[in-house]
Amino acid sequence: MDFRIADTFTDSLARLTGQEQKAVKTTAFDLQMNPASPGLSFHKLDRAKDANFWSVRVNADIRLIVHRTASSILLAYVDHHDDAYKWAERRKIERHPTTGAMQLVEVRERVEEIAVPSPEAPAPKAAAKPLLFDNLRKLELMSFGVPEEWVDDVRRVDEDTLFDLLPHLPQEAQEALLKLAVGEEPAKPVPVSPEADPFAHPDAQRRFRVFTNVEELERALDYPWEKWAVFLHPAQQEQVDRSYSGPARVSGSAGTGKTIVALHRAVHLARANPGDRVLLTTFSKPLANGLKTKLDHLVGNEPAIRDRIEVQSITGFGYDLYTRLFGQPNIASNTLISSSLAKAAEQVIDQQFSAHFLMDEWAEVVDAWQLRTWDDYRDVSRLGRKTRIGGRQREALWSIFERTRADLAARKAITWADLFWRLTDRISQGEPTPFAFIVVDEAQDISVPEARFLAGIGKDRAECLFFAGDLGQRIFQQPFSWKSLGLDVRGRSSTLRINYRTSHQIRSRADRLLPGSIADVDGIAESRRGAVSVFNGTDPDIRTFADEAEEQVAVGEWIAARIAEGCAAEEIAVIVRSDGEMKRARSAVKSAGVSAVELSEKVQVEAGKVALSTMHLAKGMEFRAVAVIACDDEVIPQQDRIERVTDESDLEEVYNTERHLLYVACTRARDHLLVTGVEPASEFLEDFGI
């Protein structure tokens, strides 16, 4: 007998108390072990439209709704007695006549009337908006998964009523209608044989999962409230399972599941290659810690897989490998490098370069590309640097950098770039690495030396390297050519367009901060057009105030309102541009009467406390509600960055990264977003429509 659970069951289970969940899990295990056990109390639901719906008694008040046939048991829903029965009376499970996928369909005649234009009472012509799908035939809509009884409702919606209707439809129908609404063409349905198993259809597999043993069921029920964090959409499965002929990259705007694809790709590689180890890496330690948590949710109960996947920041991996090959490195701090540059600059007569320019030129050109001679620096194209410098200026600069490198060598200190270039050279000589496969998340922020290092590892190993990232979230690195370093992903790049994390309102508003398409140095374009969110929400709240005191009170009231609505404190974040604005964040949370925790590389989210974070540290995080505050005129874009610009052409890069930062901060929100500033507010807020 087949034993399945539906996503509606895990969603409803997560809403119960801990004790209620424990009782439900016990009943679920009993059902799987012996559905005919006399200890199970089955009750036929006479009022249900689906004759196969039964209730199973969990305790005096909790009822489990199951769909039972002669060959299968499906856990469909769980709730308190009356609510569970009402849910079952409005649902049926049936094979879609066109797509062939098994669907859980809401019964149309039992649903409260939806506010869509009615033929009997048309809206006044002056106020009427165009209907979105009235030009599509019934069979066309059904081919996208729309249940037959909902076709007429779909053909009557306009842009105002679309999101009232979507929650009543299966997810594949929601996604297709959203794409049609924004002018995208949904993927053509794959024809299936009438004899095919309707539960085996890809659309059915996103909502119904079959279990063959108790251990599988236990893993699923252990983390039902986290399943959205590691859920892989069937449309993303191709990127996970595909065989590539070289380095591959998946992109997509915030919330489209790039990290989830990276996680599942790492697990797929570990499963498909049982004798090999896999490295799952990213550019920072906090992001690596987040990946560890998600990986544990995904395969924590499969030690044979989990033990062969190492999660580590790329600098951590490089440090460990260097220590094994050459001994523990003495990494020069930024403070030491700045001091050495300043000391060297004092010895060069008539140079007028600022300390900031020297540090940037060192980090992004000389050190990143490991320029060791005057000839190298004289001829370098300074890729990623737009400020033009003449021959004499270069000579003066090189004398500073040459002295700096000599000073670091005398101190037996090396930079991260030194470390990665030396490792790359050793690997090119045949040195083996501990990992057969490397999956990189947030790849847009890896550095030149790190990219070269990875290219060296993946050389001549087609499946070795897989990258996930978004150019619109690049906030740490100057752009550079991947291809020039040996990472040619042309023909092996794909873009995700369905957003599962962020509401339609938040996503569409945040997308205004960025252009419709962004291209990398190698000319590979990532289009943001056609991205759709799978759920509706409230409009972002964008406000400006006369002073910081007004802002503090308003943000505090907003936080208190979210908590009153049911948000836990740890599901809320207050994000600011930099540490300089953190005092305003602390004051706002204090006025809400709740505790807060300031996030850092070592400090993570804590239960019962609102998270306070800078925009840089918020990268990779997700919250139900986010307040991005202190968006003042000289805060973002940051005034001191603008003042340090020595060439007008560099100003564009400053504005781009500052926009990316605000985009990253806003897209940390799932359901609620507040953006505030004190007048005069940031010019970026105009992009939000104020």
Match 């938040």 to its residue by tokens: 506
For position 640, what pLDDT does the model report?
86
The rounded distance, in Å, linking the Cα atoms of 197 and 601 is 49
Q: What percent of the chain has pLDDT over 70?
A: 90
Compute the distance between CA of residue 162 and CA of residue 149 in angstroms, rounded to an integer. 17
Give pLDDT tens digits for 398-433: 999 999 999 999 999 999 999 999 999 999 999 999
Neighbours of 223 (CB within 10 A): 17
| Backbone conformation region of residue 370, classed left if phi is above 0, alpha if psi is from -120 to 50, else beta | left
pLDDT mean over 326-345? 96
151's CB contacts (< 8 A; 6+ apart) are: 138, 141, 142
Please write the tens of the pLDDT for every residue from 526-535. 776 777 777 7
Residue 260 has pLDDT above 80, yes or no: yes
Verify cis geometry, omega within 30 degrees of 0, for the bond prior to 637.
yes
Burial (Cβ within 10 Å: 0-12, 13-18, ≥19) of residue 348: middle
Whether 3 shows a pLDDT value over 50: the answer reads yes
> Do residues 591 and 583 touch, judged by C-beta distance below 8 A?
no
pTM of the full predicted structure?
0.72
Place of tokens 């943001």: 528
Q: What's residue 326's pLDDT? A: 97
In this structure, are residues 96 and 194 in contact, taking their beta carbons and an 8 Å threshold? no
Q: Give the closest residue to 413 by CA, choosing from 325, 315, 360, 335.
A: 335
pLDDT of amino acid 223: 47
Distance from chain centroid for Cα 216: 26
Tell me the C-alpha distance between 64 and 59, whole Å.
10
**Span 682-690, mean pLDDT?**
83
Please confirm whether the linkage preceding 124 is cis (ω < 30° from 0). Answer: no
